[in-house]
Amino acid sequence: MIGNQTAQPVTVTLQAGPADTGGIDDFELFYARRAVDRYRTLLGRQGLLDLMAGDIEKGNAFLRENALASGGVFKGGTTVLATKGLTSGEFLAWMDKAFAGDEQPLLAAHPEHYVMGTDEIGARVVENIGPHVASFYMGGWGTDALDWAEDAAELLPAAEFPRKMSSNLFLADGTVIGRALIQFGDTAEGFTAQLTVYFPVSCPDEVLDHHLRHYAVEFRNWIVAAAAARA
């Protein structure tokens, strides 16, 4: 309040100047992505791991403690994305190629992707889980590895969502700190992606909610990259 008046929110509108289409938010996103890519490139994989070693240790400890406290009980949430102009088969073919090659397209999909690749344990991911940086592995990933997911409430009919992948998310010591169930079904215009993640039930709700946002960002960008590679 200013005197007896309510302060009005400040707004800024771009009226003229840049030749490119888009707004100020679009420009900021472009520069933010460029800066993050530069940091990743300059530091390199091992440089990033060394820089974030302390954060990873704290994040892994947080997830390990919650996994033990929850006794194998998880809570889940689902992000749903609708895509037009690309089939699920085309997208998954791109994903298979990306995971088998250079990690750069995988890292570029989200500012909080730090490492994606394979080491002696398996498929490794270093990224944020909520506010916590974690280093974990994905296991049992593939269409024939549903195991626990066969009883998941989020499992959709194969007739509508024939392409399914499930995975445990586990630390290097074997502690299961989460799960993922990804399902794709083609539509007349493209495909729908049902992206479900599970975390220990004792984790704060913000951890789950942030990962649902994380899913939306990374899969949107991967889908756009897959479409661009096809063109």
Examine residue 16 and state whether it is found in any structural domain, yes or no: no
Q: Which of 29, 51, 73 is the last residue of a domain?
A: 51
What is the SS3 assignment for 1? coil
Percent of the chain with pLDDT over 90: 77
Do 145 and 158 share a domain, yes or no? yes
Average pLDDT for residues 70-80, to the nearest whole number? 96
Do 154 and 44 share a domain, yes or no? no
Q: What is the pLDDT of residue 218?
A: 97
Do 38 and 74 share a domain, yes or no? no
pLDDT in tens, 21-57: 889 999 999 999 999 999 999 999 999 999 999 999 9
Do 27 and 122 share a domain, yes or no? no
16-42: b or e for each residue (b if 16 or more CB lie within 10 Å)? eeeeeeeeeeeeeeeeeeeebeeebee
pLDDT in tens, 77-111: 999 999 999 999 999 999 988 888 888 999 999 99
Examine residue 29 and state whether it is found in any structural domain, yes or no: yes
Distance CA 144, CA 176 (A): 20
Average pLDDT for residues 203-228, to the nearest whole number? 97
Q: Which of 31, 51, 71 is the last residue of a domain?
A: 51
- Residue 141, pLDDT > 60, answer no
Q: What is the 3-state secondary structure (H, E, C) of the chain?
A: CECCECCCCCCCCCCCCCCCCCCHHHHHHHHHHHHHHHHHHHHHHHHHHHHCHHHHHHHHHHHHHHHHHHCCCEEEEEEEEEEECCCHHHHHHHHHHHHHCCCHHHHCCCCCEEEEEECCCCEEEEEEECCEEEEEEEECCCCCCCHHHHHCCCCCCCCCCCEEEEEEEECCCCCEEEEEEEEEEECCCEEEEEEEEEEECCCCHHHHHHHHHHHHHHHHHHHHHHHHHHC
The DSSP 8-state label assigned to residue 223 in this structure reads H
pLDDT in tens, 155-212: 999 999 999 999 999 999 999 999 999 999 999 999 999 999 999 999 999 999 999 9
Do 100 and 113 share a domain, yes or no? yes
Do 94 and 26 share a domain, yes or no? no
Q: Structural domain of residue 61, as residue ranges? A: 54-230
Do 138 and 47 share a domain, yes or no? no
Q: What is the pLDDT of residue 28?
A: 94
Burial class (CB in 10 A: 0-12, 13-18, 19+), 96: exposed
- Residue 58, pLDDT > 90, answer yes
pLDDT in tens, 143-159: 555 578 888 999 999 99
CATH number, domain of 151, equals: 3.30.530.20
